[in-house]
Amino acid sequence: MSISHQYAHNEFLRSFTTFSCIILSIISFVHCRYQLYPEKNYPNSSNNESIYSLQPTTMEQINDFGDLGITIHKCCEPDVILDYQLSCRNHKAIDFEPKPFLEKMEHYFVLEQLAFSKIYLSRITINFNYLQNIWNPTDGFVYHWDSSKPRSDAKYAFSADDGSLLQMDQKHSKIINKFPTNTYCVDYDGIFHDTIMVYVNPCRERVCIRKCCPEDHYYSITYNTCHLSYTLEPMRVNFYFLTTPSLRDVSYHTNFGYPNCWNEGDCTRINNSSTSSVYIQEDGNLLVDKSIKYLYYNTNYYCLDIFSDDKNISYLNGFYDEKSAAAILIGKIDLYANMIEPSTQSTQVSMEFGATEQLLELNNRQIRIISSVVNVFLSLTFALVLF
């Protein structure tokens, strides 16, 4: 082979190898991108309606107009009612018949335009003794319909579309909250037997956050108490993964309540500054950043609210039970070390707070970073050696 042919052959090999290394580097980079940030479909409030739409299973569930059947859950057994202590008890005056029970509910069904409407009772199926499935002493709430008042005064109504419980504004112009049928149960009122009541546990389907002060109230830092206000914006909560803003669209519900330390006057403010963030985790737990450690508190040990100086400063803050033995402490060094080599202890803690999947995802991401960087480095090194 002549020198010119040998030179051309070497140039061809060098160009081909360089081109191959470039292609390999690009593939490694793309692989790194999609491995580090894979596409995910997180649940959010916008698609909950399709999840909870009831599908017809028998012909009896479909009326002449093709409407879907609705399953309504009665809290207690047929001849048992729900008393004011939210427990099921026998009552001799109650002789349960499905039709009269449903007729009382019928007055409170609304269409999509929030106009009250009659509903075919044949569409409704009653499921009994549902309270045991959704009962929670801290997260649930009760609403009573007062039969002596016009139904236009009611704050809640049932959707004629899928049976969901709808919370409406005072003018009945928009829906504030929507609770699927598997988050509530209906029963006779334990005191006024001719009316019905509903027990709702929204925390079965979404994260629940405790508000320190009642609805339409804020916490005055001037007087250190709750004050009534119709002008302040509703409390909005931002969610985090550790101290990083969450990319997930977290659906949450706000309950009124406060930790035990509130009554004892021994609660600690979450932040002492109006500019500091409140780190509510994606599972609803509170993270308190203590320089070299994190403290986690579940919803029973903290509450949030709008703090205001009664003038022009308002911000999200709250109180927590700092002395609670229920707090979980995690050292920051241990936490980040466990992202690379998870220990039994860190896994146990993360499981308790619903973060196991997130920690494991970070572990795998660390490994994928190292793998991808090594691939790119080896490719570029090989190309340089040839030159």
Mean pLDDT over 308-328 rounds to 86
- Would the pLDDT of 274 be above 80? yes
Residue 288, strand partner residues: 295
SS3 29: helix
For residues 359 and 116, the model is more confident at: 116
Q: Which residue has the tokens 């080599």?
A: 341
Mean pLDDT over 76-94 rounds to 81
Residue 308 pLDDT level (bands cut at 50, 70, 90): very high
Environment class of residue 85 by beta-carbon count within 10 Å: exposed (0-12), middle (13-18) or buried (19+)? Answer: exposed
Is the Cβ–Cβ distance between 133 and 200 less than 8 Å?
A: no
Residue (of 50, 44, 46, 45) closest to 161 by Cα position = 50
- What domains appear along the chain, each with residue ranges and CATH number? 55-204 (2.170.180), 206-352 (2.170.180.11)
For residues 118 and 164, the model is more confident at: 164
Please report, rounded to a whole number, the percentage of residues in the chain having pLDDT higher than 70: 64
Q: CA 166 to CA 168: how far, in whole Å?
A: 6
Least confident of 144-148, 183-187, 199-203, 354-358: 354-358
DSSP at 246: P
Residue 269 pLDDT level (bands cut at 50, 70, 90): very high
Which alpha helices (DSSP H) does 192-313 contain, by range?
A: 261-264
Mean pLDDT over 222-227 rounds to 94
Mean pLDDT over 226-239 rounds to 89
Other Cβ atoms less than 10 A from the Cβ of 375: the count is: 17
Q: What is the pLDDT of residues 164-202, one digit of tens each?
A: 999 988 788 888 889 999 999 999 887 766 788 999 999
- Would the pLDDT of 24 be above 70? no
Residue 18 pLDDT level (bands cut at 50, 70, 90): low
DSSP at 74: B
| pLDDT at residue 260, as a whole number | 83
DSSP at 191: S
Q: What is the mean pLDDT of the chain?
A: 74
* pTM for this entry: 0.62
Q: What is the pLDDT of residues 279-302, one digit of tens each?
A: 999 999 999 988 778 888 988 899
